[in-house]
A and B are shown apart, each in its own frame.
Chain A
Amino acid sequence: MYVSPIREPLVTGKKTYKKITDEISAPIEGKPGKAWYAGITLTVSALLLGLAMMGYTIWQGIGTWGLNKTIGWGWGITNFVWWVGIGHAGTFISAILLLFRQKWRTSINRSAEAMTLFAVMCAGLFPLIHMGRPLLGFFVFPYPNTRELWVNFNSPLLWDVFAISTYFTVSLLFWYVGLIPDIGTIRDRMKSKFKKWIYGLLSFGWTGSAKHWQRHESISLILAGLAAPLVLSVHSIVSTDFATSVIPGWHTTIFPPYFVAGAIFSGFAMVLTLLIVTRKVLNLENYITVGHIESMNKIIIATGSIVGIAYITELFIAWYSGVEYEQYAFLNRATGPYWWAYLIMMTCNVISPQLLWFKKLRRNLVFTFILSIFINIGMWFERFVIIVTSLHRDYLPSSWSMYEPTMVEVGIFIGTLGLFFTCFLLFIRVFPVIAIAEVKSVLKSSGDQKDKSETKEKH
């Protein structure tokens, strides 16, 4: 029976169930290549540099950073917001696209969610170090204490503590529940007794029983339903860190939706950066196809355009409000001493994604890879612009100042990049990068077989 292809297949190469298992498990079973060792050497070196700089900061104090009385938030908070934003794409892919029944998510959700977890880990480090005395970090939790005080529940900074920790925990649960069946697959393939025992422990004794699958499907759906508003709430709350303070350039109601769109935008850029390399290195081109890349690029245009409109709306409202300080804040952003940062932000975030309207460019891997790096840079500068340009010239001209990061701050940022990529490199060696069971379940409807019974092995 010939079924005419209406949609582009999501899994190409005429796969059988067995082939899917073999190919996705291959990176875990094989020995890592030279590229992997080279990669992890580089990322671990970056991580060690970061750890040294963090240690130095904690030992010497926050004075080792380029902050001053006027500019109290610099690279540290910029990096925090940037990393949290990157995390958002993973949850968007696994939760919101699940609710919308987008089958193409099955090939990318596992790695995107892993990326979420690692990005949130990197993000969480910054506020902790920024406290100056991270050993007292537990003061942020409302526990009965000898100071006889509670934390300030009216403060967005405290909301952030709850938002980020809940986000990390729920993402971890969601990710792990999804992993259980696939860890079972790996367990059943392992030859060595020790590895079998380890994966057996991690698989929680998964058997694949129909009743378990029914519960698994039910829990995945409801967790997605919970994670979808959660991911929107997290960056909204991060944006209230700024929006509730009376600083020109921060005190705007547009912040929550604008931050959420920006977060998904930057997150998809990071997913593309990672997956374009991963699919090539791990030979997964049949699972993460050019069609997948194109779908992600479409989301990039949508969210990138929302971000562009938000920038323009901000400018318009600043002018229309008639508030002198607000008007100056935005004029100063574009033409003041940090004009170059504003220009980078505008070019990378507003202009460059518009090129994706061309189908040829959307489906071009090299172009997409370069563009994704541009967006990562652009979104980093967005946060830098919001934080530094708003702070450096506020109400009192006598306290106007400039900010420049020190090597310590740069080193910590490089360190978190190292942490992120080290975790990702370890992840691809230990767990299946693609959700094996989920890809199998869409194989018949979205594979490129002419006859749907070709999914079984030939004898």
Chain B
Amino acid sequence: MRRYISAYFEDEENLLRATKDLRDKQLTIQDVLTPFPIHGLDPILGFKRSRIPTIGFIGGAIGCIIAFGFQAWAFVVDYPLFIGGKPHFAIPSFIPITFELTVLFAAFAMVFAFLIRSKLGPGANNPIHDERITDDRFLIIVDLDEAGNQDELVKEILLKEEAQDIKVKEIDK
């Protein structure tokens, strides 16, 4: 059996303070759902830096190599053709397409990484906890132990920050 508690705030500053208190008391926060990104929430929740920039870099590097390599191969190896007396291996004129494909590959890599890692996509069927979390509610879900020893402590912290609609839920595994 898995137990958790959910509640919502109407102001992000209450949410930030409550999250900090809960983390200080070594409680596990399952998720925080908000209508817009809250600055300062990531370090409180202990999130590591997102690796999306790295993926973008790798994607871009692949695009760069493919684009430059292909142009050079086509014009130097596969079909060397004289164009206006220019050299076959004309680095400057390969740069624009190399740049464009670098950007294109990096963008696609990041968007796919974002969607796959977040399990988002057309037809993704994620549970919607409260229809107003995309409007003006800041929802928090805190894991509880099976014995129910933490219930009072969590409720107290949530109430102190004017949390509303505090609900304990149990799911059978």
Contact = CB atoms under 8 A, between A and B. Distances in A.
Contacts of B84: 154
B128 A207 contact: yes
Given A148-B79, A205-B126, A223-B110, A210 B47 contact: yes
Interface string B117-139: 11111111111110111111000
Contacts of A159: 96-97, 100
Interface stretch (A67-75, A116-124, A450-458): A450-458
A442 B35 CA distance: 13
29 contacts: A142-B70, A148-B79, A150-B79, A162-B96, A166-B103, A184-B134, A188-B132, A188-B134, A204-B124, A205-B119, A206-B134, A209-B31, A209-B32, A213-B37, A214-B47, A215-B117, A215-B118, A216-B37, A218-B53, A219-B52, A222-B52, A222-B56, A222-B106, A223-B110, A226-B60, A230-B100, A230-B103, A441-B37, A453-B11
Interface stretch (A14-22, A39-47, A417-425): A14-22
Interface string B25-50: 00000011111111101100101001
Interface of A: 16-18, 21, 142, 148-150, 152-154, 156, 158-159, 162-163, 166, 169-170, 173-174, 177, 180-181, 184-185, 187-189, 201-202, 204-219, 222-223, 226-227, 229-230, 233, 237, 240, 437-438, 440-441, 453, 455-457
For the complex of A and B, the 5 pairs showing the least CB-CB separation, nearest first, are A205-B124, A17-B136, A456-B10, A218-B50, A159-B96
A200 B84 CA distance: 55
Contacts of B101: 162, 166
B11 A21 contact: no
Given A169-B107, A188-B134, A212-B120, A17 B35 contact: yes
B86 interface: yes
B35 A185 contact: yes
A159 B73 CA distance: 17
Contact of A219 (B70, B96, B114): B114
Given A142-B70, A223-B107, A456-B11, A208 B33 contact: yes
A23 B10 CA distance: 19
Interface in B45-67: 45, 47, 50, 52-53, 56, 60
A210 B86 contact: no
A207 B131 CA distance: 10
Nearest to A156: B96
B6 interface: no
Contact of A212 (B60, B79, B104, B118): B118
A173 to B, nearest CB: 5
Nearest to B96: A159
Nearest to A452: B13
A208 B11 contact: no
A99 B106 CA distance: 18
Given A18-B135, A169-B104, A154 B120 contact: no
Contacts of B36: 181, 213, 437-438, 440-441
A235 B11 CA distance: 44
Nearest to A440: B36
B78 A150 contact: yes
B149 interface: no
Given A177-B114, A207-B33, A210-B47, 4 more contacts: A210-B31, A215-B52, A219-B111, A223-B110
Contacts of A17: 35, 135-136
Nearest to B141: A209
B71 A204 contact: no
A204 B120 CA distance: 5
A233 B99 contact: yes
Contacts of B56: 222, 226
Contacts of A148: 79
Contacts of B32: 209-210
Contacts of B35: 17, 21, 181, 185, 208, 437, 440
